[in-house]
Amino acid sequence: MDLISSNSELAMKNSIKQLSGSLNKIIVDLRDKILYETAYIESALDDPEHYDLTDYPVELKNKVSDMISRVDDLIDSFNSGHILKEGINTLILGKPNAGKSSLLNTLSRRERAIVTDIPGTTRDTLEEQITINGVSLNIIDTAGIRETDDIVEKIGVDKALDSIDDADLILFVIDSSRPLDENDHFIIDKIMDKKVIILLNKSDLVSKISEEEIYKKYNKPVISFSSVSLDGLKALESKITDMFLKVRLNLMILYILQTQDRQVVLPMQRIVW
Ligand SMILES: Nc1nc2c(ncn2[C@@H]2O[C@H](COP(=O)(O)OP(=O)(O)OP(=O)(O)O)[C@@H](O)[C@H]2O)c(=O)[nH]1
Ligand SMILES: [Mg+2]
């Protein structure tokens, strides 16, 4: 199904590789190791005189932790598989008028979203697919987060907050020409345990907030940015691709697999999986 529904060539190659049996081989190998240890323990219990178990607990503990880390690698590979197939789910969050829709337009190089100086312009979530250095991103612009009595706007705000869980990356847009307010604090509290890049937007205006101050406070990457002067655009694009280094490694490995005999056992096998 992955192969049929994958929407890029890269995703297709990834699916083919999974089909080609590497995943199966790793699972069979893990299963064999677990069966071996289980059989060894059972035999030792049945026939204790012929088994020296003095160092076995330590040995077993090491083997089990190695297996756990292989399983963790597999789970990770699923995550980056999802990112390769569907793109990095990138949520743009911020209070009204921070410049979220302008950021979406800047990153997608087109006037995708309506931008006005009226706070509360964007009411529904808006998605756009873009590619940065070969990595695909599914960017979602959202309604500005604030307390509101407007029913439609409130639905948009709730939708934005609900999208946090599914986001692989959050671009938190702050209007640096104004001091932080309770809306900024409310947002940052909601996203502290996520992968976040903080954008100090409107850097072309006189700034009320410094990069150092924000970094010290929140310990997340901070980039000074402007959708008007395009200050910080390159820095943002490289930061995103650096954060998803694993995806880039997968791209490289897929390229190697494509150009070489697929039977070659790569030394980076652990990275692939
Ligand atoms: N000077 C300056 N103005 C900006 C920048 N980014 C956005 N703006 C302006 O800020 C205002 C709000 O921009 P939007 O992109 O609509 O802001 P938003 O966060 O999407 O706002 P809501 O949809 O209301 O939540 C507009 O007047 C933009 O032109 C920037 O980098 N520099
Ligand atoms: Mg908007």
Pocket test for ligand 1, best of 227, 231, 236 (most atoms within 8 A of CB): 227
| 240 within domain boundaries | no
Tens of pLDDT, residue by residue over 27-70, are 788 889 999 999 998 898 898 888 888 899 999 999 999 988 88
Residue 127, both tokens: 């998605």
Tens of pLDDT, residue by residue over 173-230, are 999 999 999 999 999 999 999 999 999 999 999 999 999 999 999 999 999 999 999 9
* Same-domain check for residues 21 and 109: no
140 CA from centroid of ligand 1 (Å): 16
* Same-domain check for residues 199 and 98: yes
| 3 within domain boundaries | no
* Protein residues with CB under 6 Å of any ligand 1 atom: 94, 96-102, 115-117, 119-122, 143-144, 201-202, 204-205, 226-228
| 1 within domain boundaries | no
The stretch 14-19 carries a mean pLDDT of 60
Which residue is closest in CA terms to ligand 1's atom 2?
A: 202
Q: Write the CATH number for 105.
A: 3.40.50.300
Handedness of CA 227, 230, 233, 235 (dihedral sign): negative
Q: How confident is the model at residue 9 (pLDDT cuts 50, 70, 90)?
A: low
More confident residue, 22 or 220: 220
Amino acid at 133: N
Number of domains in the chain: 2
Which residue is closest in CA terms to ligand 1's atom 11?
A: 117
Q: Would residue 133 be called left, alpha or beta, if left means φ above 0 and alpha means ψ between -120 and 50 degrees?
A: left
Tens of pLDDT, residue by residue over 134-163, are 778 999 999 999 999 999 999 999 999 999
215 CA from centroid of ligand 2 (Å): 25
Tens of pLDDT, residue by residue over 54-113, are 899 999 999 999 988 888 777 766 666 667 667 889 999 999 999 999 999 999 999 999
Alpha-carbon distance 208 to 250, whole Å?
41
Q: How confident is the model at residue 270 (pLDDT cuts 50, 70, 90)?
A: very low
* Same-domain check for residues 262 and 177: no
Residue 50, both tokens: 């012929």
Closest-approaching ligand to the CA atom of 105:
1
Pair 104, 63: CB distance under 8 Å = no
Pocket test for ligand 1, best of 91, 92, 95, 102 (most atoms within 8 A of CB): 102
36 CA from centroid of ligand 2 (Å): 58
* Same-domain check for residues 69 and 51: yes
Alpha-carbon distance 113 to 181, whole Å?
25
* Same-domain check for residues 203 and 70: no
114 CA from centroid of ligand 2 (Å): 7
Q: What pTM was estimated for this model as a whole?
A: 0.72
128 CA from centroid of ligand 2 (Å): 14
Task: Give the domain extent around 171.
Answer: 87-231
* Same-domain check for residues 69 and 104: no
Q: What is the pLDDT of residue 241?
A: 80
Q: How confident is the model at residue 170 (pLDDT cuts 50, 70, 90)?
A: very high
In SS3 terms, 177-246 reads as: CCCCCHHHHHHHHHHCCCCEEEEEECCCCCCCCCHHHHHHHHCCCEEECCCCCCCCHHHHHHHHHHHCHH
* Same-domain check for residues 19 and 139: no
* Same-domain check for residues 124 and 205: yes
